[in-house]
């Protein structure tokens, strides 16, 4: 099988780049996906996404034991279906601060300043609020206001205002600071993933082929030119040839793993596994970053939370009118705060009408609500490495959380800010006891102990195939892999530094940008 372009991975970026190349009508495009179609009902019902964790549509990764988290390994969900993580996430639409992209450009990545990517963001979206300086309509990604926000969510916003913070109705407008309700990737109360926006409308094109249950095992080369992809499906081993380029959009964990298995990476690591060297790029798998976060939960004194979502009444409301608790994205409330003396907000707030502790594994019964303090400008860096040369074996994932003490210091201050917000009068009609009691601690040592016991990430890993020109850069500013021809990477792994917000929309933008770079030539 031979195509002009072969895209590996149908996640947020992969859907965008493959669809845009196909719709140009100039090329034959193949898309390889290790999972299957996005046909589970739970994908479409917004509040059901936690049930997708550790399911057939989740890679179900786990980190190495984290030394700063009392030796705990952290669950790391990644989508394994059409749409990738956009099919199993909380649907939050955030771009990140303008200055995050300006930093990328200042580091030598021409074309990635915010003013240059803003037209892509606008082209991507179909915003229910209509077009303006910051937003667009008519794009493939539906962006909507929450259809039926929970009363607790409204009270949280009021509580933040009482605690001295701004109101902000649009985190993707002129500035991020302040609190409000998130916009979400939904349409009429149902999830709107990258697969729904980009892939489904493209499936009928004669120049587009989607191959499912196809695990990419290695890239093929003629010297240092990438010529295709070897993959494994239920029928055996196959190879697909790319006449022009291969685009790896397999995600922050699988993209570096595939490059390493194919001979692109640090010479010593490849030699250890007996893999022939194609390009000595020591940055492959390095620079792993994520958003560490810590929840503060409270029991709720009224039966209005997601604990009531499984009732026949709520099922009927959703089925008949697409209203009620099942329309919730769970993380309904957002906020941004600035604690350090720098131009980019460094603390994010997520809140919602449910208990959420230890990825949901330690939730008590009954009604509750939660708010997270999230360090969105982390200094700690980790890595992804091969565990073996077997492509079916999950790689080593070590985000090295809280390795830099500045991250812990920020989260201590963040916990106190969250405690103050949740203790404000606006929540007095709903607020029960804090859970667990340790979440109410105020002293530095007690808060540190709570953080080490219950910190997780916000499932936003990035950076493992970083864009740039330094010694650890993997791709250049046009997403071409250094040292080889015919190969690009387009997903969140190319971010040289993590954006200070949810990473799904920026990942889609990267896919759009990749297609734009190709089509302009």
For 313-326, give the secondary structure using H, E and C: HHHHHHHHHCCCHH
Q: Which of 352, 400, 275 lies closest to 91 in space, CA to CA?
A: 352
Strands 208-211 and 186-187: unpaired
pLDDT at 325 over 90: yes
Measured between its terminal Cα atoms, the distance across the chain in Å is 25
230 in helix, strand or coil? strand
pLDDT at 136 over 90: yes
Q: Which spans in 389-443 are helix H?
A: 405-422
Provide the pLDDT for residue 340: 86
pLDDT 10s digits, 226-265:
999 999 999 999 999 999 999 999 999 999 999 999 999 9
pLDDT at 489 over 90: yes
d(CA 106, CA 112): 9
Domains and CATH numbers, the chain: 2-40+195-288+462-519 (3.50.50.60), 42-75+91-98+144-182+289-457 (3.30.560.10)
Mean of per-residue pLDDT scores for the chain? 98
Provide the pLDDT for residue 519: 97
Provide the pLDDT confidence category of residue 149 given band limits of 50, 70 and 90. Answer: very high
Provide the pLDDT confidence category of residue 95 given band limits of 50, 70 and 90. Answer: very high
User: HSE of 520 in the Cβ direction (CA atoms, 13 Å)?
Assistant: 8
pLDDT 10s digits, 291-313:
999 999 999 999 999 999 999 99
Catalytic residue status for 460: yes
- Bridge partner list, 43: none
Provide the pLDDT confidence category of residue 342 given band limits of 50, 70 and 90. Answer: confident
Determine how many CB atoms are found less than 10 A away from the CB of residue 171: 27
Helix (H) / strand (E) containing 464: none
Provide the pLDDT confidence category of residue 343 given band limits of 50, 70 and 90. Answer: confident
For 476-500, give the secondary structure using H, E and C: CCCCEECCCECEEECCHHHCCCCCC
pLDDT 10s digits, 414-431:
999 999 999 999 999 999
> In degrees, to the nearest 5, what angle opens at C-alpha 64 toward C-alphas 60 and 69?
110
121 in helix, strand or coil? helix
221 in helix, strand or coil? strand
Check if the beta carbon of residue 141 is closer than 8 Å to that of residue 508.
yes
Mean pLDDT of 259-282: 98
User: What pTM does this model have?
Assistant: 0.98
pLDDT at 471 over 90: yes
| Residue of 135, 165, 298, 460 with catalytic role | 460
d(CA 394, CA 62): 9
Provide the pLDDT for residue 341: 83
Provide the pLDDT confidence category of residue 521 given band limits of 50, 70 and 90. Answer: confident
d(CA 109, CA 478): 8
CB-based burial label for 244 (10 Å; 0-12, 13-18, 19+)? middle
pLDDT at 279 over 90: yes
d(CA 417, CA 347): 10
d(CA 112, CA 122): 15
Q: Residues for the chain: how many in total?
A: 521
Check if the beta carbon of residue 252 is closer than 8 Å to that of residue 492.
yes
Phi-psi region of 428 (alpha: psi -120 to 50; beta: other; left: phi over 0): alpha
Provide the pLDDT for residue 278: 98
d(CA 205, CA 305): 44
Q: At what angle do helices 405-422 and 151-162 cross, to 10 degrees?
A: 110
pLDDT at 207 over 90: yes
Check if the beta carbon of residue 122 is closer than 8 Å to that of residue 135.
yes
Please state the φ and ψ torsions of residue 230, each to the nearest 5 degrees: -90, 135
Which residues, 6 or more positions from 133, have their beta carbon under 8 angstroms from its beta carbon?
173
pLDDT at 131 over 90: yes
Provide the pLDDT for residue 388: 97
pLDDT at 163 over 90: yes
DSSP, res 92: B
pLDDT at 485 over 90: yes
pLDDT 10s digits, 37-65:
999 999 999 999 999 999 999 999 999 99
Which residues, 6 or more positions from 231, have their beta carbon under 8 angstroms from its beta carbon?
32, 211, 214, 215, 216, 217, 237, 238, 239, 240
The token pair at 163 is: 């605690």
Provide the pLDDT for residue 417: 97
């Amino acid at each position: 099988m031979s195509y002009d372009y072969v895209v590996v991975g149908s996640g947020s970026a992969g859907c965008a780049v493959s669809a845009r190349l196909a719709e140009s009508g100039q090329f034959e495009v193949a898309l390889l996906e290790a999972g299957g179609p996005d046909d589970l009902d739970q994908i479409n019902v917004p509040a059901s996404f936690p049930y997708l964790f550790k399911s057939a549509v989740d890679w179900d990764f786990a980190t190495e034991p984290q030394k700063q988290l009392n030796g705990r390994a952290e669950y790391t969900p990644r989508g394994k279906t059409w749409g990738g993580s956009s099919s199993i996430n909380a649907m939050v639409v955030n771009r990140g601060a303008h200055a995050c992209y300006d930093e990328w450009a200042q580091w030598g990545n021409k074309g990635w300043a915010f003013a240059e990517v803003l037209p892509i963001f606008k082209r991507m979206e179909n915003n229910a609020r209509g077009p303006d300086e910051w937003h667009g309509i008519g794009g493939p990604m539906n962006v909507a206001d929450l259809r039926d926000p929970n009363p607790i969510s409204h009270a949280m916003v009021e509580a933040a205002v009482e605690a001295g913070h701004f109101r902000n109705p649009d985190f993707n407008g002129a500035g991020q600071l302040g609190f409000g309700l998130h916009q979400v990737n939904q349409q009429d109360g149902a999830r709107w993933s990258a697969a729904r926006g980009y892939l489904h409308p493209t499936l009928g094109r004669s120049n587009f082929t989607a191959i499912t249950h196809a695990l990419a095992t290695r890239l093929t080369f003629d010297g240092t030119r990438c010529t295709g992809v070897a993959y494994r499906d239920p029928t055996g081993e196959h190879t697909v040839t790319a006449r022009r380029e291969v685009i790896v959009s397999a995600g922050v964990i699988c993209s570096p793993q595939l490059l390493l298995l194919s001979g692109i990476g640090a010479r010593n690591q490849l030699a250890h596994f007996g893999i022939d060297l194609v390009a000595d790029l020591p940055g492959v798998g390095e620079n792993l970053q994520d958003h560490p976060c810590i929840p503060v939960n409270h029991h709720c004194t009224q039966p209005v939370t997601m604990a009531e979502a499984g009732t026949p009444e709520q099922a009927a409301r959703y089925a008949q009118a697409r209203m009620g608790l099942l329309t919730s994205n769970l993380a309904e409330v957002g906020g941004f705060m600035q604690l350090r003396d720098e131009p980019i907000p460094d603390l994010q707030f997520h809140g919602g009408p449910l208990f959420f502790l230890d990825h949901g594994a330690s939730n008590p019964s009954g009604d509750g609500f939660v708010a997270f303090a999230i360090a969105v400008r982390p200094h700690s860096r980790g890595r992804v490495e091969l565990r073996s040369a077997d492509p079916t074996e999950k790689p080593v994932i070590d985000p090295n959380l809280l390795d830099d003490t500045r991250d812990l210091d920020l989260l201590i201050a963040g916990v106190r800010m969250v405690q103050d917000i949740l203790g404000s009068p606006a929540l007095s009609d709903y607020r029960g006891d804090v859970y667990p009691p340790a979440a109410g601690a105020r002293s530095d040592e007690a808060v540190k102990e709570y953080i080490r016991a219950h910190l997780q990430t916000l499932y936003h890993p990035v950076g493992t195939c970083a864009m740039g020109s330094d010694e650890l850069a993997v791709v250049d500013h046009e997403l071409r892999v250094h040292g080889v021809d015919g190969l690009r990477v387009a997903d969140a792994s190319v971010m040289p530094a993590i954006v200070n917000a949810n990473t799904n929309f920026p990942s889609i933008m990267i896919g759009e940008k990749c297609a734009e770079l190709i089509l302009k030539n």
